[in-house]
């Protein structure tokens, strides 16, 4: 095996490759485009395209694709061969600057929320030169992938990348306004991100026997296995040989793509795992997370495994999420959310911290929406997932600092505490400034914020678009005030103190799972949005529209389209699940149970005919119990069919999503209960699909 340093970035058209393959003049022009937003000249684009083509051909590529992120939350590709034909009909390897910069695709067949009609199909992919091109290999076929934005013929963003790039630019401008007040004028300001990714692995042969996982990504039926995560023995446990082999191949593929995946381990639930990359800029981190999710699924398949990215594939055990670790930094290496040794005196840090506190409180509904989806509703609020109530954890030290500021009190700077283990041979360690709070949706973890609500299958573009936008809105508000100041030190102190006083309600350092917190959150007046359907309408509130439009992240038409898409996605996913459940019950469970009932009935009859004195009460009790449960299941089945029909006949999209949430999902839960009980009563060889015990422990 090669060294990691030799593998890393070998499938990436990165800065190292560009320095070698581009002329100095064109390389400088491209860097100015990347770093300063200066338009790239046509001749420079042609040279870059030719260098990219030659590099890709040398690596065995035959096609290129504009790799983009439509509003499905996944990625999309249209492959074009790297050649043209001559007048003589010969093939000539070719890739022009025009082809590099822009492509054309069908914009009406992707979710667009009314921005495009079928007869208005034209859409454009536009090269994002800030994210490196890369080579993707599948079964020996190598494709040059060029990260791009995706917009309509009329200019609206039809993707996740474009608003993310807009929010990044807006954050840079607003941060620079604040930093200038402190006498600092960095070259660039950008947000950094480290996105941890949780996932499940199951045996491919078992997966192929579960229609629910195939169609929906999760189990719609399934009784708990005798053992789940009860003993906590899977968490950080020794990695099984078959899984270690998969992880090793995954590491290699990701390192080749320049993705700095550093950490991997078993997660809490059986069959669950996690990986974590090193921090990078949010745009590249977002692209890399999409590449990670695709690599997880592709490489799992090579190992006769299936990777499940659904937020809650199995009931009763932990679900999977992403931990969105977000911060703001300058190109000079300064982390603007680093408290320093004396955070009470670090006014610059406190301004940015206050801005985040106010943003999270003022726009908590928007942050909730960023992690809202049909699938994530199953996960939030239980089994170590954060609750659906937005709050912020700041930890003991910062809480003390904020209290002193709020009360205008002097604070004695305390030396960093030491952590002593009580064992003489172990070193004394310096404690972190905060503990970790796994129940907090938005926790300060030393020099960054960890947003834990994001679902494992979601694109991280969405939460970071919103997080950037709401912080930008507050930073600009702060800058508008402070730039007019006649006494900046005093006005800074007043701004920080008043912000903390006005928005303290969002700070909660306790147990987010407790019933007491739910009551306390309600008392504080915090929005409690239990489901995606509760949250999504806030996306089109005047407050939300003003934040997006004023800061030039989304236009009104783009806001409305995303609102429609989010509701439509909820309805369609719920419909797929309900329909799958109906099929599985009628075509699989019902026939299997009837067959077992017939077998049991014949057994009782035969035993009685053979010997009138034989005891058959256990069999009769079992038969009675199964028959009763089957009757309950049949009634729930009919109820589900009726509610599904009623919901689908409702034209208003919001009302239809509410009917799915309240009636259809309720009837799905009612149907599942007797079916899961039947699984424990019917003989294993008669049950039509693998059980939780099979799925979670047969690897």
Chain segment 340-354, per-residue pLDDT in tens: 877 766 899 999 999
Phi, psi angles (nearest 5°) of residue 389: -90, 125
CA angle 631, 636, 641 (to 5 degrees): 130
Chain segment 656-675, per-residue pLDDT in tens: 999 999 999 999 999 999 99
- Is residue 300 located within the same domain as residue 365? yes
- Is residue 448 located within the same domain as residue 474? yes
Residue 203 inside a domain? The answer is yes
- Is residue 482 located within the same domain as residue 357? yes
pLDDT of 381 = 75
What is 3-35 written as a DSSP string? -HHHHTTTTEE-HHHHHHHS-HHHHHHHHHHHH
Q: What integer is the mean pLDDT of 446-466? A: 96
Task: Give the domain range for residue 72.
Answer: 4-158
pLDDT of 40 = 87
Tokens found for residue 420? 């002593």
Q: What integer is the mean pLDDT of 284-305? A: 98
Quote the CA–CA distance of 229 and 267 in Å, as a whole number: 10
CB-based contacts of 296, cutoff 8 Å, min separation 6: 197, 199, 250, 307, 309
Q: What integer is the mean pLDDT of 508-515? A: 90
Q: What integer is the mean pLDDT of 269-297? A: 97
Residues 163 and 565: beta-carbon distance below 8 Å: no
Chain segment 324-340, per-residue pLDDT in tens: 999 999 999 999 999 88
pLDDT of 108 = 79
What is 412-432 written as a DSSP string? PPPPPPEE--S-TTSPPEEPP
Residues 438 and 323: beta-carbon distance below 8 Å: no
Return the CATH number at 181: 3.30.590.10
Return the CATH number at 137: 3.10.20.70
- Is residue 148 located within the same domain as residue 250? no
- Is residue 436 located within the same domain as residue 347? yes
Residue 103 inside a domain? The answer is yes
CB-based contacts of 366, cutoff 8 Å, min separation 6: 466, 469, 470, 538, 539, 544, 547
Least confident of 226-230, 397-401, 531-535, 619-623: 397-401
- Is residue 244 located within the same domain as residue 350? yes
Phi, psi angles (nearest 5°) of residue 274: -145, 145
Identify the band that residue 439 occupies on the pLDDT scale cut at 50, 70 and 90.
Answer: confident
Residue 179 inside a domain? The answer is yes
Return the CATH number at 658: 1.20.120.1560
pLDDT of 659 = 98
Residue after which a domain boundary falls, among 505, 523, 554: 554
Chain segment 573-608, per-residue pLDDT in tens: 999 999 999 999 999 999 999 999 999 999 999 988
Residue % of the chain over a pLDDT of 70: 94
- Is residue 532 located within the same domain as residue 595? no
457 has pLDDT over 70: yes
pLDDT of 432 = 56
Identify the band that residue 425 occupies on the pLDDT scale cut at 50, 70 and 90.
Answer: very low
Identify the band that residue 467 occupies on the pLDDT scale cut at 50, 70 and 90.
Answer: very high
- Is residue 597 located within the same domain as residue 640? yes
Chain segment 360-386, per-residue pLDDT in tens: 999 999 999 999 999 999 999 765 678
- Is residue 538 located within the same domain as residue 398? yes
State how many domains the chain has: 3
422 has pLDDT over 80: no
Q: Are strands 272-277 and 91-93 parallel, antiparallel or unpaired?
A: unpaired
């Amino acid at each position: 095996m090669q060294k990691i340093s030799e593998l890393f970035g070998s499938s990436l058209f990165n800065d190292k490759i560009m320095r070698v393959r581009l002329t100095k003049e064109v390389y400088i022009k491209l860097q100015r485009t990347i770093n300063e937003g200066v338009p790239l000249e046509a001749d420079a684009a042609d040279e870059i395209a030719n260098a990219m083509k030659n590099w890709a051909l040398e690596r065995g590529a035959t096609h290129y694709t504009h790799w983009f992120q439509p509003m499905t939350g996944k990625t999309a590709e249209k492959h074009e061969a790297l050649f043209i034909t001559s007048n003589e009909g010969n093939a000539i390897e070719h890739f022009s600057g025009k082809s590099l910069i822009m492509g054309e695709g069908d914009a009406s067949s992707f979710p667009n929320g009314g921005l495009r009609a079928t007869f208005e199909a034209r859409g454009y992919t536009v090269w994002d030169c800030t994210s490196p091109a890369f080579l993707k290999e599948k079964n020996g076929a190598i494709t040059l992938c060029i990260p791009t934005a995706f917009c309509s013929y009329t200019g609206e963003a039809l993707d996740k990348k474009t608003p993310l790039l807009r929010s990044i630019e807006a954050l840079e401008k607003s941060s620079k306004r604040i930093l200038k007040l402190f006498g600092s004028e960095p070259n660039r300001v950008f947000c950094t991100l480290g996105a941890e990714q949780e996932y499940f692995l199951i045996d491919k042969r078992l997966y192929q026997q579960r229609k629910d996982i195939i169609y929906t990504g999760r189990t719609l039926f399934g009784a708990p296995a005798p053992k789940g995560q009860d003993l906590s023995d899977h968490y950080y446990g020794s990695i099984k040989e078959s899984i270690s082999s998969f992880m090793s191949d995954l590491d290699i593929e990701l390192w080749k793509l320049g993705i700095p995946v550093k950490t991997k381990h078993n997660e809490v639930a059986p069959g669950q795992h996690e990986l974590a990359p090193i921090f990078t800029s949010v745009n590249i981190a977002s692209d890399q997370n999409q590449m990670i999710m695709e690599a997880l699924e592709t490489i799992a398949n090579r190992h006769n495994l299936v990777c499940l990215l659904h937020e809650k594939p199995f009931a009763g055990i932990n679900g999977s999420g992403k931990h969105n670790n977000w911060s703001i930094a300058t190109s000079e290496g300064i982390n603007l959310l680093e408290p320093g040794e004396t955070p009470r005196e670090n006014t610059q840090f406190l301004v940015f911290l206050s801005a985040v506190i106010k943003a999270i409180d003022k726009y908590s509904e928007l942050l909730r929406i960023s992690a809202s989806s049909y699938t994530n509703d199953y996960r939030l609020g239980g089994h170590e997932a954060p609750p659906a109530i937005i709050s912020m954890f700041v930890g003991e030290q910062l809480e003390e600092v904020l209290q002193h500021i709020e009360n205008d009190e002097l604070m004695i700077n305390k030396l960093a505490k030491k952590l002593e283990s009580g064992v003489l041979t172990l070193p004394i360690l310096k404690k972190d400034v905060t503990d970790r709070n796994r129940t907090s949706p938005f926790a300060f973890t030393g020099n960054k914020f960890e947003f834990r609500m994001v679902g494992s299958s979601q694109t991280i573009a969405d939460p970071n678009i919103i997080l950037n936008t709401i912080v930008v809105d507050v930073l600009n508000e702060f800058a508008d005030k402070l730039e007019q100041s006649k006494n900046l030190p005093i006005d800074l102190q007043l701004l920080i103190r008043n912000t903390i006083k006005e928005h303290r309600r969002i700070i909660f350092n306790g147990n987010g799972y407790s019933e007491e917190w739910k009551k306390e959150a309600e008392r504080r007046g915090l929005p409690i949005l239990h489901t995606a359907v509760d949250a999504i309408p806030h996306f089109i509130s005047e407050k939300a529209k003003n934040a997006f439009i004023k800061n030039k992240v989304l236009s009104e038409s783009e806001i409305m389209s995303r609102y429609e898409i989010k509701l439509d996605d909820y309805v369609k996913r719920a419909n797929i699940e309900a329909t799958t459940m109906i099929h599985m019950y009628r075509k699989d469970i019902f026939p299997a149970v009837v067959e077992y009932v017939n077998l049991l009935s014949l057994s009782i009859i035969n035993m009685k005919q053979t010997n009138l004195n034989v005891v058959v009460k256990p069999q009769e009790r079992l038969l009675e119990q199964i028959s009763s449960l089957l009757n309950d299941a049949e009634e729930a089945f009919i109820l589900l069919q009726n509610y599904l029909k009623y919901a689908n006949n409702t034209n208003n999209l919001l009302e239809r999503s509410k009917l799915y949430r309240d009636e259809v999902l309720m009837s799905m839960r009612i149907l599942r209960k007797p079916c899961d009980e039947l699984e424990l009563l019917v003989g294993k060889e008669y049950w039509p699909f693998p059980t939780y015990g099979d799925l979670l422990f047969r690897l």
